Chains A and B, each alone.
Chain A
């Protein structure tokens, strides 16, 4: 086993990407690794002509993925929008891996991201010594993607300051990056596209200006519709994780996962699954990604500190940690939930007992 903690998508799923390329029967656009239909198959999963099974990466509405791929086909930028934990970065990574074969061209947006991370930076020593020249230029991932015709990923676009965000406008509309200091420009090669992600429930976000907003096609990734969908997602990601981490624990029973997912959904909605009891909602978002990490956490606890089988006590600290983010308000929400719902549910008594030890 390699010692790398988490491989890039194009390495982890190299076999699938290869099989898709072999079975290609549609037209492949310039500088794309495979046809758009194959990209959608890669994302949604399916069976190929030679019998190869492609695993689904995104579990949800197929049409959303089709819209995302069609957007990139028309050289428009794609903005994946939605609540935290709805697979935006995940989809962005896999899209880049499938289309360009390279998901490493990333600009991580933070409040401190400056223009030099998006357009180009300077090697100041050389700049001072020799004056402006090509060699003094420090290439950014955006510039590299434009030159090579690959996909660049911009994560957390809305956290970037507005003045820096707007430097994207020229890049997106004219597909050219002017370098006034050197009197040249970099023009994008076919196959260049931008995949951005943004959260819509976050503190400290800078709304995109209308000009910039208009240059993106926005796809909102929703939370999973049904319990079954969410359980499916969690189950898949957890088994990936446990095999990657070599955890000495049994695969978790579907029941355990379902319980965690149910708790998360009920608190998120503010209503029990049968729709009969209203619940207070905690301050956090309780996304699917958090459910996955809770189960992973539980598995690790079970494997190393427990008896190898996943029990309620292993899960409980993770669940409480995910729900109770604000120590005062969320604690009340949690306790109410425990007393009014969990206590009276059949078969959940172990959960109830486990949580009493923690809070």
Chain B
């Protein structure tokens, strides 16, 4: 009995249906399925009702988990249907593709010398597996293999392989299930012969095809009288038909590299991952549509368009039944115009745009997300999945007594309780790892308190994300740590972002990650001369040091780093502020305030002295940018390093005739930055500014006035009014000396009274009160 070669397209729904029909007709004794040998133990589980597609078979290299492979399967994938058939009809089924151990080893070799082999991407639109999901290897340009089907599509007047296959293969019917496979074989054979660049094909393909031929020969020896059916990608069929010498194949397969692998396991998957839009490389564009076609083979489009109408109605569009009817008519006539027997997704999409969307295709994006791609997630029974990270995740949820639901839930945590602290750590770890499980709500003054508010929202997407990143570790803690380390080492980040990351890492209680990060920051800080970067990092580190006690953590290493940073800031600060770049000067200015605040909260002698030293040098170097010049003087005054007379002196210096007006403006801007309330409350400062103003000559005053007006304009109008009132009250109660002070204490105020005038008024007052100068009676 000759071997039957059935070439399929991965994830093709029509192909799957034909395949099942063909298998029923052939009634094989042995089935060979395209898949790595290690998947054999997974296959018997397909009829477990808890194993619901879309799922994937996952395997990775034990030593280097990032070298992983995913073989996704949907219900309508021919491979899945084959496995189901084999199980239900008790037919022996063998995966006969190159073992993953060799495949991953070959991947490793290729990635090692990637420069030598540019376009030998192993995946094309034909393949579903063999992808390294981490590196998105499939994103490499579609190879010449996919393009060849494109040429066939072109000849038939279609845009690409998918369209052609959908129209000519998936959507058609015929009585004899086998004739389609024969036709495909003919087409592929012709294609492979004609494009001679592919007789050699890529090295990996050649090896795989040699392996498959070897397995086929063994199968024919094992089962000489029975029917053998081979199910593989259509592209490989001619290679299996070809008569190749055993010796040639053995030569190719000799000495293949191998890596040690973990056991393969079932993992849940999602339609969105099957779709090309998620960058998964060789996938299909519309899994939701394919599922619909699988479930409703005889639908001419009415059911699909009704679903579309329902989705649009849920979104608030008024889509009537008439719309659906008209859209269906249009789709059908479009199909007739293009010479295809049934409307396909392209025709439906165009009909929806034209009839329901009035020419505008914004409606389509909604349909695409909800229906065409679909939000379907598969599930795997708990005892079957062998992804330790997932197991750990669920175990943690149980331990911390966190229940998940699809709805958002709010949780308030008190970090003084151990359970709550553990929960907070768990949530922080999830966030670091990129799982959108919980997000922190901002509450005012939260930095130093023990209260945290988190909002939880669970979606099956989280499980998938963990599966994708399972390579990083077996428990959430280790996975998080290696993830963070990878991020830290991979990118050439700047100190500020690393410091930000450090804050999150400390909240997640990952001591080894903390060590890695501090080492990173240390080395960066030692060599960096980027002033802005260092300044940006300070507030993060200061917060860690100051509020570290909330989490009972050791932050001594951070403390050391801060000292180093401040020393470097001090060393390089002046230079950085002389003639800074125009773009960055505002950014630089904005950094001074938070750093100053950090210095105050840290309350450390050494750091404070470093900072003050920098400020004084900044404020006394003329070439420093005036904005910073002014602000540093102000900060020095805040820290009581300089007194009011010094402030006046500096103001006078800054406003001397020689200074360009812009410089003066900037100086005053910096000096008066955020000072409205201070001016109102701090009399000394007010006096300093006031006296300086008074000391100006008329010409100087006219010169300074517009600039001053501009600076004061930055305060809000109520603030300005109150400053004015204060000045007025100062003026009205001042003596002829210009620097007298108004004491605001209740009680005595010195009033200069003119006694003669006062005496003249007294009789009138006595008249009002009905008293006479000598009379004490009251009325």
Contacts and interface: CB of A to CB of B under 8 A. Distances in A.
What interface size band does chain B fall in? 20 to 34
B45 interface: no
Interface in A187-243: 210, 213-214, 217-220
B334 to A, nearest CB: 4
A37 B340 CA distance: 13
Nearest to A71: B330
A218 B359 contact: yes
B350 interface: yes
Given A214-B323, A217-B330, A220-B359, A37 B354 contact: no
B494 interface: no
B340 to A, nearest CB: 12
Contacts of A73: 333, 336-337
Interface in B323-356: 323, 326, 329-330, 333-334, 336-339, 346, 350, 354-355
A220 B326 CA distance: 18
B751 interface: no
Contacts of A37: 337, 339
Given A74-B329, A214-B323, A81 B359 contact: yes
Nearest to A36: B337
A323 B64 CA distance: 63
Nearest to B346: A63
B322 interface: yes
A217 B354 contact: yes
A106 to B, nearest CB: 22
A67 B323 contact: no
Interface string A31-72: 000001100100000000000000000000001001101110
Contact of A40 (B336, B337, B359): B337
B358 interface: yes
Contacts of A36: 337
A76 B338 CA distance: 19
B355 A217 contact: yes
B147 interface: no
B354 A67 contact: yes
Contacts of B329: 74, 76
Contacts of B323: 214
B337 A219 contact: no
Contacts of A71: 330, 333, 354
Contacts of B357: 218
Nearest to B351: A67
A67 B355 CA distance: 11
B360 interface: yes
Contacts of A63: 346, 350
A218 B323 CA distance: 13
Nearest to A72: B333
Nearest to A219: B359
Contact of B358 (A67, A69, A218): A218
A217 B326 contact: yes
From B326, B330, B358, name the one whose CB has the most chain A CB atoms within 10 angstroms: B358
A165 to B, nearest CB: 15
B359 A66 contact: no
A69 B335 CA distance: 12
B330 to A, nearest CB: 6
Interface residues of A, number: 21
A70 B355 contact: no
Nearest to A64: B350
A128 B336 CA distance: 52
B373 to A, nearest CB: 21
A219 B354 contact: yes
A73 B337 CA distance: 9
What does DSSP make chain B's interface, helix, strand, loop or mixed?
A: helix
Given A76-B329, A76-B330, A81-B359, A218 B337 contact: no
B322 A67 contact: no
A81 B357 CA distance: 12
Nearest to A218: B359
A70 B359 contact: no
A66 B330 contact: no
Given A74-B329, A76-B329, A81-B359, A218 B334 contact: no
Nearest to B358: A218
A252 B544 CA distance: 71
A220 B360 contact: yes
Given A37-B337, A40-B337, A67 B360 contact: no
Contacts of B355: 217
A213 B318 CA distance: 13
Interface string A62-104: 0100110111011010010100000000000000000000000
Contact of B334 (A67, A79, A81, A213): A67
Contact of B330 (A40, A70, A214, A220): A70
Nearest to B361: A220
B354 A218 contact: yes
B17 to A, nearest CB: 28
B339 to A, nearest CB: 8
Contacts of B330: 67, 70-71, 74, 76, 217
A70 B326 contact: no
B360 A70 contact: no
A66 B333 CA distance: 10
B337 A66 contact: yes
Interface string A289-304: 0000000000000000
A220 B358 CA distance: 8
A81 B360 CA distance: 10
A100 to B, nearest CB: 18
Nearest to A200: B359
A74 B339 CA distance: 16
Nearest to A213: B358
A218 B330 CA distance: 12
A74 B354 CA distance: 13
B530 to A, nearest CB: 27
A270 B391 CA distance: 54
Nearest to B329: A74
A70 B333 contact: yes
A44 to B, nearest CB: 12
Contacts of B337: 36-37, 40, 66, 69-70, 73
Nearest to B323: A214
B359 A214 contact: no
A217 B322 CA distance: 12
Interface in B156-213: none
B358 A74 contact: no
A166 to B, nearest CB: 17
B166 to A, nearest CB: 16
Contacts of B358: 81, 213, 218
A71 B353 CA distance: 13
Contacts of A219: 354, 359
Nearest to B355: A217
Contact of A76 (B326, B359, B360): B326
A214 B323 CA distance: 8
Nearest to B334: A70
A81 B334 CA distance: 20
A127 B233 CA distance: 78
B322 A214 contact: yes
A71 B357 CA distance: 15
Given A71-B354, A214-B323, A217-B354, A66 B334 contact: yes
Contacts of A70: 330, 333-334, 336-337
From B318, B355, B360, name the one whose CB has the most chain A CB atoms within 10 angstroms: B355
Given A67-B330, A74-B330, A79-B359, 18 more contacts: A37-B337, A37-B339, A66-B334, A66-B338, A67-B350, A67-B354, A70-B333, A70-B337, A73-B333, A73-B336, A74-B329, A76-B326, A76-B329, A76-B330, A214-B323, A217-B330, A217-B355, A218-B358
24 contacts: A36-B337, A37-B339, A63-B350, A66-B338, A67-B334, A67-B350, A67-B354, A70-B333, A70-B336, A70-B337, A71-B330, A73-B333, A74-B326, A74-B329, A76-B330, A79-B359, A81-B358, A210-B318, A213-B358, A217-B354, A217-B355, A218-B358, A219-B354, A219-B359
Task: Report the 4 A-B pairs with minimum CB-CB distance, sorted nearest first.
Answer: A220-B359, A218-B359, A70-B333, A218-B358
